[in-house]
Amino acid sequence: MLCYTKPKHMGYSHPATSRDRELQLYIGGKWRESESGAVRTATDPATDEPIATYPDGTREDTHAAVDAARSAQPVLERMSAFKRAELCHEIADAIDDQFETLVEWLIADQGKPIASAEYEVNGTSQLFRIAAEDVKRDEPPTIQSSNRNKRVYTMRKPHGVVGIVTPWNFPLSIPAEYIGPGLAAGNALVWVPAPTTSVVAVTLAEVLAETSLPDGALNLVTGEGPVVGDEVVSYDDVDAVGFTGSPETGEAIARAAGAKPTLLEMGGNGPVIVLEDADVKAAAEAATGGCYTNAGQVCGATGRILVHESIHDEFVERVVAQTDEMVVGDPWDEATDMGPLNNDGVAEKMDRHVRDAEERGATVLQGGGRVADAPTDRYYEPTVIDDVTPAMALNREESFGPVAPVLTFSDDDEAIELANDIDLGLISGVFTASLARADRFVDEVQTGIVNVNGGSTYWEKHIPFGGHSGKKSGIGRLGGRHTLEELSQLKTAIVDPGADPS
């Protein structure tokens, strides 16, 4: 059994050691308590030590946030696209200026290691810069009319008030995927973060509050999803909804949102497919990285590895060797590759998936349980499981933990059938030396993105990202101008200039 690695070096200081934080809601440009006065205690997932208190928001708090957004939205809409771009760049600068603070609270609140936290904070400011540049290049089409006296042109207009519900695995960058384009398009926003990472969400809002963001343009309501999340999604005065999270929650949000425009990113389960002509070393490295990045808590994680039977042994040997090199330990240690899972629910799901696989005949080659001697039982061993079959939960569901499940296939037809035979379809990878075979997999694998000779976690922030139709991985596309389009509406003007008065 893997043992916990104690810290050897700490390049950052745990922020909770320097001050106690009593956080508030951010509504209409002001910090305030919840209407009920109730608070919740946030704890460090790596140690279970309290780090702050935050408000347990109510439905009435959500109404107040929506009202504030409604008042602020015309201010944003009247700003030129270039002025909103300046605002987004100002926000990005502010994030960069508070880089260390955001990294420290991200580690303390989410549990990810230093390098992962630094990467996320860098990506968060980048997302605001991308939105700033995309909105300046927005060029909706002019359309030809059958009537020579008509002029038809289109423009992008904001939805109005957009409700945003975001998860705990990337609690800064995923909100930025919505907030940046949302503001750039002229919307006012009501943001409900995940309860288990509300502290770092408030920290980001504190950074944004010091910019020239108009009062009410961004409102933050913390609390339980079934209360404040449900209210922001279903409330009549919210015009559109953005959500990233589980398929189960996403489907509930889609039902609650009704006819509102929705942008939903709802998770996936790989796969990475390794054909017999692949570069096995490169494939094993990419697949292993995709399984263990952020402790597997990634919507594009390599939740399944499909390997041709002829190269199975070599591939698995490489994955086991790379897994053996993973350092699991204190997220404040620069040597740590993988910290704790964020919450008890995802650890329990890992237990259930591993147990189901073992009971159905799979072979646990490495890991398979909680890390010994760790400060909390949320530390999970990097786990390699062979002989996985299609009926197992590891294959059919998103584990969202550090696991490398290996299935085998005998030919391309079987690989494609295995890849498509689940109800998730977000992002996949295929490794092959044949361009013709790669083209077939791109064509036939039912995921929104297919990476050729790349793992399932590879994505760039301006590239369209979302689920395949017929699957439960979401609606719409995140990424660059595609998010901007989702968070705005196309309006058409048909102009008849009339007779020439001369």
In this structure, are 224 and 336 located in the same domain? no
**So what's the pLDDT on residue 5?**
57
Residues 46 and 129 in one domain: yes
Same domain, 305 and 207: no
Tell me, yes or no, whether 168 and 121 share the same domain. Answer: yes
**Are 39 and 181 contained in the same domain?**
yes
Residues 257 and 325 in one domain: no
- In this prediction, residue 13 carries a pLDDT of 86
- Note if 3 is an active site residue: no
Does 278 share its domain with 416? Answer: yes
Do the domain assignments include residue 342?
yes
Known catalytic residue at 265: yes
Catalytic residue among 104, 120, 265, 485: 265
Residues 144 and 183 in one domain: yes
Q: How far apart are CA 196 and CA 45, in angstroms?
A: 9
Yes or no: say if 268 and 425 are a contact pair by the CB < 8 Å rule: yes
CB neighbours of 301 closer than 8 A, spacing ≥ 6?
A: 268, 269, 270, 290, 291, 293, 294, 398, 399, 400, 456, 457
So what's the pLDDT on residue 9? 43
Domain count, the chain: 2
CATH code, domain carrying 406 = 3.40.309.10
**432 and 303 in a common domain:** yes
With left for phi above 0 and alpha for psi between -120 and 50, is residue 64 left, alpha or beta?
alpha
Is 278 a member of any domain?
yes
What pLDDT sits at residue 500? 65
CA distance 55 to 78: 33
Residue 143 to residue 414: CA distance in whole angstroms: 46
The residue segments making up the domain with residue 346 are: 272-460
pTM of this structure: 0.96
Cα–Cα distances (Å) from 46 to 111, 325, 344, 489, in that order, read 6, 21, 11, 43
Catalytic choice (299, 381, 397, 486):
299
Domain presence at residue 2: no
Which regions in the chain score pLDDT beneath 70?
1-11, 17-19, 499-502
CATH number reported for the structural domain that contains residue 46 in this entry: 3.40.605.10
Residues 233 and 283 placed together within one structural domain of the fold: no
Report the C-alpha dihedral over residues 238, 244, 247, 253, rounded to 10 degrees: -10
